[in-house]
């Protein structure tokens, strides 16, 4: 895993936002899922940086990035970083929350996006209405009050890997990595604090305007409604496709990193 000394910081209007910037070539941005940080991509960064410039930010309020103190949108934070680096258009690769950030950004700042890979996500419209997401948000709020990260992790794993598995079926090393990352992010927040995030809405009706390649990549053990949403996304955009990785759920990049890296690299080479 990277350490804080490897990070750089973008001085946004509302605090410093951390990011890793490594490798050279066409830019690829890795967008982590909720409650963790750029270290979520430990198995992808070296593999992709061998041929590409890899930028892996910590989303505002996560990891080493500043918390919000005023309204913000994920897509605008990412656009600000890419413009600060004079980078773009870039390929955006995101898991869960990161996948939503990718679709938000291509809708709101299309000039900065060359292609999108979204995993365990479709659009914000789907994510915000998803019962699992609502459950996790409730458990996150409870965790902040009780200081019980195991409750959050159990809730997260109970649904995310799909109905065929339980937490006992996940590699303990993956669970330990998630605990470490989530504890770091959760410790940055306090019970009852204001959520300053502003959602991008009406994403489904605007998908036809996305004119860059979109790959919806998911594990076969994702819940059926997530896989259905991924198919809907791929069919709605002019240049969409879907792929699956067998026998994994939400953390496909952590559980089968070689398979994940191979699919992503094949997609990058096709652009």
| Dist. CA 97–CA 204, nearest whole Å | 16
Question: What is the pLDDT at residue 159?
Answer: 46
**Residue 5: other Cβ atoms inside 10 A:** 5
Radius of gyration of the chain (CA): 17
Which of 98, 104, 138 has the alpha carbon at shortest distance from 118? 98
Would residue 157 count as lying in a domain? Answer: no
In-domain check, residue 164 = no
Tens digit of each residue's pLDDT (9 = 90 or more) over 81-132: 999 999 989 999 999 999 999 999 999 999 999 999 999 888 877 665 555 5
In a domain, 152, yes or no: no
Global confidence as pTM: 0.91
Q: Structurally, how many domains does the chain consist of?
A: 1
Q: Is 102 helix (H, G, I), strand (E, B) or coil?
A: helix
User: Residue 237 has which token pair?
Assistant: 């955009």
Pick from 20, 46, 40: which is nearest to 250 by CA? Answer: 40
DSSP 71-93: -B-HHHHHHHHHHHTT--SEEEE
Do the Cβ atoms of 67 and 15 come closer than 8 Å? Answer: yes
Does residue 50 lie within any of the structural domains? yes
Residue with tokens 């103190």: 69
pLDDT for the residue 3:
46
Rounded to a whole number of angstroms, the distance between the first and last alpha carbons of the chain is 29
Residue 189 belongs to a domain: no
Which residues of the chain, if any, have pLDDT below 70?
Answer: 1-5, 126-167
Is 153 a domain residue?
no
Residue 65, in any domain of the structure: yes
In angstroms, the Cα distances linking 214 to 15, 34, 63, 114, 179 are 32, 21, 27, 9, 31
Find, among 154, 161, 132, the residue nearest to 245 by Cα: 161
CATH of the domain at 11: 3.40.50.1820
* 170 belongs to a structural domain: no
Residue 208 belongs to domain spanning: 4-129+196-269
Residues in the chain: 271
pLDDT of residue 224: 83
- Cα 217 to Cα 37, 45, 227, 261, 264: the distances in Å are 20, 18, 9, 11, 9
Per-residue confidence (pLDDT) for residue 161, from 0 to 100: 46
Give the model's pLDDT for residue 88. Answer: 83
């Amino acid at each position: 895993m990277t350490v804080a000394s490897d990070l750089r910081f973008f001085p946004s209007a509302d605090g410093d936002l951390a990011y890793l910037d490594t490798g050279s070539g066409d830019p690829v941005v890795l967008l982590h899922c909720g409650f963790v940080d750029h270290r979520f991509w430990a198995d992808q960064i070296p593999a992709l940086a061998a041929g590409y410039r890899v930028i892996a930010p910590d989303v505002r309020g996560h990891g080493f990035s500043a918390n919000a103190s005023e309204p913000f949108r994920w897509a605008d934070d990412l656009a600000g970083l890419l413009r600060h680096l004079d980078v773009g258009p870039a390929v955006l690769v995101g898991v869960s929350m990161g996948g939503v950030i990718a679709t938000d950004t291509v809708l709101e700042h299309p000039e900065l996006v060359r292609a999108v890979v979204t995993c365990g996500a479709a659009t914000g419209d789907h994510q915000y209405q998803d019962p699992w997401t609502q459950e996790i948000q409730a458990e996150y709020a409870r965790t902040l009050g009780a200081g019980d990260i195991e409750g959050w992790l159990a809730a997260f794993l109970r649904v995310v890997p799909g109905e065929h598995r339980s937490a006992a079926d996940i590699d303990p090393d993956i669970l330990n990595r998630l605990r470490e990352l989530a504890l770091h992010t959760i410790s940055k927040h306090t019970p009852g604090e204001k959520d300053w995030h502003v959602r991008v809405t009406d994403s489904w009706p605007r998908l036809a305007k996305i004119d860059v390649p979109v790959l919806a990549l998911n594990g076969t053990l994702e819940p059926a409604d997530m896989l259905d949403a991924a198919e809907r996304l791929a069919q709605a955009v002019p240049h969409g496709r879907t792929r699956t990785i067998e026998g994994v759920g939400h953390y496909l990049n952590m559980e089968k990193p070689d398979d994940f890296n191979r699919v992503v690299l094949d997609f990058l080479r096709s652009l």
